[in-house]
Structure 1
Amino acid sequence: MFSFFKKDPLKELNKQYLQKLEEAMYAQRNGDIRSYSMLTSEAEDILKKIETMEKPTEK
């Protein structure tokens, strides 16, 4: 009945993805390459989740 109160999971994942990329950028600027690579890897994992959610299911 109140489906408009539900959050869009795809929107939330996009927000997390952009946040991880921003954190990775700041880590790289500070010279922390190890944290940069870990954050970039986490962002790529989130991107894979986004792509699987966006892909239409084939019947």
Structure 2
Amino acid sequence: MFGFLKQDPVKKLRKQYDAKLEQAMLAQRKGDMRLFADLTAESEALWQQIEQLQQQQS
């Protein structure tokens, strides 16, 4: 009945994914390759979760 009030979990994860990518870009610009690699790995894990949720919704 009130499905429009529920937040979309994909949207929330996409926002986190975008933030991680931006942090990774900034770390790369500063020359911190270790932090860049860590943030990129975290963003890839988020992307996997996004893909799984999208497949479940389809």
What is residue 37 of structure 2 aligned with on the other side? Answer: 37
Question: Which has the higher Rg, Structure 1 or Structure 2?
Answer: 1
Compute the TM-score of the two structures, normalised by the length of structure 2.
Answer: 0.88
Between Structure 1 and Structure 2, how many residues are aligned? Answer: 57
Q: Aligned to 1:55, what secondary structure does the other structure show? A: helix
User: What is the identity, as a one-letter code, of the residue corresponding to 1:27?
Assistant: A
The RMSD of aligned alpha carbons is: 1.4
Aligned sequence identity (%): 49
Separation (CA, whole Å) in 1 of partners of 2:2 and 2:55: 26
Write out the 4+ residue segments of structure 1 that deviate beyond 2 Å after TM superposition.
none
2:16 is equivalent to residue 16 of structure 1: yes
Displacement of 1:5 in angstroms is 1.9
User: What is the identity, as a one-letter code, of the residue corresponding to 1:41?
Assistant: A
Point out where structure 2 has 5 or more consecutive residues left out of the alignment. none
Q: Aligned to 2:18, what secondary structure does the other structure show? A: helix
Separation (CA, whole Å) in 1 of partners of 2:50 and 2:3: 21
Q: Aligned to 2:43, what secondary structure does the other structure show? A: helix
Compute the TM-score of the two structures, normalised by the length of structure 1.
Answer: 0.87
